[in-house]
Amino acid sequence: MIAIAPTQNGNFSLERNGLPNICGSEAELAKITNHTNPVFLPRTNLQLDSFKASFACALHMHQPTIPAGANGELICNLQHMMENPHDGDNHNASVFAYCYSRMGDFIPELIDQGCNPRIMLDYSGNLLWGLIQMGRQDVIDNLKKITLDDRYWPHVEWLGTMWSHAVAPSTPIPDLKLQIQAWQQYFAAVFGTEALARVKGFSPPEMHLPNNPDALYEYIKALKECGYRWLMVQEGSVETLDGTPVYDRDEKYLPQRLVATNSRGDTISMTALIKTQGSDTKLVAQMQPYYEAKSRGRQELGGQSVPCCVTQIADGENGGVMMNEFPDGYKQAWPQIAGDGSTVGVNGTEYLELLDAAGISEDRYPVCQAIQQHKIWARVDRDRPAPGAVDAAIADLNQNDHQFSMDGASWTNDLSWVRGYENVLEPMNQLSAKFHEKFDRAVAEDPSVTQSREYTEALLYVMLVETSCFRYWGQGTWTDYARELYRRGEALVS
């Protein structure tokens, strides 16, 4: 066990100054999260030499915060769905709410049957706050059961994410760490600090990975400073150093060392687990990762034979297959897995810690980088880039290579998170700039400024404007929500 006492009070209460507890405890967070103690290894019932293949499944859950209460107050979109059941697909609201809770039923049920289930959970901060706002303590309590109960938590891994589901490439760089820390602080408020200390993997919203060298460097730097060990990336968002797509290689079933070099020549790296296939929720609903893993075997890593790992994530509630097919598919697979023995379910950190115990550390993983970066480094000396060389290379590539893009890559590559959304992105960047102009110097002189209501409320609106939903769903009501959030945020920082 990690020697950090659980707490639900003091700096990690659910609210601070009448607002969600999203900032003000940065020093305490660093002490909780920046450790290298094994999390699952002391408790795992798996041995690396006893199985030939493995798979890891994650469920992503999110509901945005919108200014749509009876008097324009901030509410969860799930609440809006509940209150307007005849609009669009809002009749699914009660099913969505059950989906947020149901793993708290499935995991104990399967363990009682003698199965050995695994699941990774990715819930946005918006959603956790929204459930609290709605008084859905039943959902929170069911999640607490599999997060805190000693019988169940070794089977369940929580993944960190951005508090308000902000996609990294279009999020202002100074806000990346604020989003990451806000999720950590609110998670600690809901589930306690011991549970937070176990969160070592990160799930990027939309699986979106920045490929701009400076943005990716700062992203990885922020994740490592916040104590994360690994992140999940879409197979189409990374390449080898010579530009070969990772999705064409069997190495995608092994952990990678994701390398990021910025325009000054500084290099940082982080472990990445590759999410295979596309975004079709049927892959998880029908337990395709298990069946794919069954067809595979052990692979060489660091000079040793190790089980491969097929990694997949899907929306946990969205779409008919996840609402209706996933429960039976998930529950029927685990007795088969128990009878098989050669293919097992794992969680990400558990798998990496098993590799550690076998003497295979990150420096022995295959190396990858963000997609299309090889085109930049073919024009620029990666070790000693001249000032402005990276920007010049990007400008030249944008001009002369129609396949080149610095928009990043995600599981929705048919959709740009930048083009066509200038009416959202420009205000978003303006609000962020005004926030940092107002608060950065004050925070540097007195870190307790982040505990003030003024700072917390302004940060809340900065993060809400960065929510991806206000672009994903196109022009109209959702961009109107973004403009209203910007208006309120701008009033706070002007």
* pLDDT digit string, tens, across residues 201-224: 999 999 999 999 999 999 999 999
Per-residue pLDDT of 378-424, as tens digits, reads 999 999 999 999 999 999 999 999 989 887 654 444 433 334 444 55
**pLDDT band (50, 70, 90) for residue 425:** low
Strands 119-123 vs 75-76: parallel, antiparallel or unpaired: unpaired
Burial of 114 from C-beta contacts in 10 A (0-12 / 13-18 / 19+): exposed
pLDDT value for 409: 52
- Asked whether the predicted pLDDT for residue 157 surpasses 50, the reply is yes
Question: Which domains are seen in the chain, by residue range?
Answer: 10-370 (3.20.20.370)
Task: For residue 272, report the phi and psi dihedrals to the nearest 5 degrees.
Answer: -130, 135
Asked whether residue 342 carries a pLDDT value surpassing 90, the answer given is yes
The pLDDT of residue 447 is above 50: yes
Helix-strand-coil split of the chain, %, nearest 5: 50, 15, 35
**Beta bridge mates, 289:** none
Least confident of 86-90, 262-266, 443-447: 86-90
Taking residues 155-179, what's their average pLDDT?
A: 94
pLDDT-derived band at 308 (thresholds 50, 70, 90) equals very high
User: H-type helices in 149-296, by residue range?
Assistant: 173-191, 193-197, 213-225, 282-285, 288-294
Q: What is the pLDDT of residue 410?
A: 43
DSSP secondary structure code for residue 245 in this structure: B
For residue 480, CA distances in Å to 86, 465, 474 come to: 21, 11, 10
- Residue 418: its pLDDT value, please? 37
pLDDT tens digit sequence for 59-112: 999 999 999 999 999 999 999 999 999 888 888 999 999 999 999 999 999 999
What is the pLDDT at residue 6? 39
Average pLDDT taken over every residue of the chain: 91
CA distance 196 to 157: 11
pLDDT recorded at residue 474: 55
C-beta of residue 225 within 8 angstroms of C-beta of residue 264: no
Identify each DSSP E strand in 338-489 by its residue range. 343-345, 367-370
Position 8 scores a pLDDT of: 46
Q: pLDDT digit string (tens) for 179-202?
A: 999 999 999 999 999 999 999 999
- Reading the block at residue 230, the tokens are 């690994």
> Whole-angstrom Cα distance, residue 166 to residue 417?
10
Q: Where are the extended beta strands (E) located within 150-193? A: 156-160
Per-residue model confidence (pLDDT) at position 101: 98
pLDDT of residue 421: 40
Q: Mind spelling out the 3-state secondary structure of 320-388? A: HHHHHHHHHHHHHHHHHHHHHCCEEECCHHHHHHHHHHCCCCHHHCCEEEECCHHHHHCCCCCCCCCCC
Collect all residues with Cβ–Cβ distance below 8 Å to 332 and sequence separation of at least 6.
Answer: none
Q: How many angstroms separate the CA atoms of 164 and 62, rounded?
A: 9
- Amino acid at position 393, single letter: A
